[in-house]
Amino acid sequence: MSLVKLFQKIRSTGRIAEPSQPGPGGLACPKAAQLGGSVQLRHIDTGSCNGCEIEIGSAFGPVYDAERYGARLVASPRHADALLVTGAVTHNMAQPLCRTVAAAPHPRIVIAVGDCACGDGVFADAYGVRGPVSGTVPVDLRIPGCPPEPTTIIRALRGLTGR
Q: Domain for residue 54, yes or no?
A: yes
Q: How confident is the model at residue 20 (pLDDT cuts 50, 70, 90)?
A: very low
Q: Domain for residue 68, yes or no?
A: yes
pTM above 0.75, yes or no: yes
Q: Domain for residue 50, yes or no?
A: yes
Check if the beta carbon of residue 146 is closer than 8 Å to that of residue 121.
yes
Domain residue limits at 52: 37-161
Greater pLDDT, 139 or 32 = 139
Q: How confident is the model at residue 1 (pLDDT cuts 50, 70, 90)?
A: low
CATH number at residue 136: 3.40.50.12280
The answer to whether residue 112 scores a pLDDT higher than 90 is yes
Q: Domain for residue 28, yes or no?
A: no
Q: Domain for residue 7, yes or no?
A: no
Check if the beta carbon of residue 14 is closer than 8 Å to that of residue 62.
no
* Other residues' Cβ atoms within 10 Å of the Cβ of residue 154: 23
Number of domains in the chain: 1
Q: Domain for residue 110, yes or no?
A: yes
